Amino acid sequence: LATTRSMEFLKFRELPAGQNAIVAIAVYSGYNQEDSVIMNQSSIDRGLFRSLFYRSYTDQEKRVGMQIVEQFEKPMRSDTVRLKHGTYDKLDEDGIINPGVRVSGEDIIIGKTAPIAPDAEELGQRTKYHNKRDVSTPLRSTENGIVDQVLVTTNAEGLRFVKVRMRTTKVPQIGDKFASRHGQKGTIGITYRQEDMPFTREGIVPDLIINPHAIPSRMTIAHLIECQLSKVSALKGFEGDATPFTDVTVDSVSSLLREHGYQSRGFEVM
């Protein structure tokens, strides 16, 4: 809720980074020591810090010699050798997967075959019916997700080029790393359900609990002032100006907090 003048020039309104969370600076249960943080599992279930991860896979038809070219198609076991472990069932007949299909580790997402020479033995796997070998593109074995977009075009030589974009939803879990704009970084040490988290006299439950020992040694005093200013911003309904070297002081922010019935430095009984 606190912005700076430079954020306007960096187009932070058009391309914002991060989310506003309710943060408590407190020691609670011991699972936020040594730079770890405690996160509210109920907030995560409601979508807090959930993100989309995209990865693109590309392939193109290449020439083998002067005339023969590789071909996008669904490889068939009857005439193709060296088939991969993954499933080919999700491919269309043209060898390309459809958008919206859910895939998991080692599923084939781009089917492609290359012709093999008549005299090639292919490690003894070849029979007289085999005239192609499989050069398809599988999904990474550790990933799963949904096919987001498929692009088919041609290159300068008139050969087809395929790009498949995968979309994976990432949900925060223990071990994931988070950081504030002041470089106060930490990993999730434990997640508690909302009913197991501390709460204020007004019933507000934090999304995140960071350890107070992270503040003095790193001397991120502006972090505390920004927290204080953001609290005032939430109460008054405006954006706070956190630009350095301006007239906004700790005392002026403290007096606004006092006006709204809060402790001047932002302390709360939980």
Q: CA end-to-end span of the chain, whole Å?
A: 23
- Residue 20 to residue 180: CA distance in whole angstroms: 10
CB neighbours of 217 closer than 8 A, spacing ≥ 6? none
Residue pair 210/186 in contact (Cβ under 8 Å)? The answer is yes
Rounded to whole angstroms, the Cα distance separating 94 from 92 reads 5
DSSP 150: E
Decide: 19 and 48 in contact? Cβ < 8 Å: yes
Q: What H or E segment, with its residue span, contains residue 258? A: helix 250-259
Give me the active site residues, please: 35
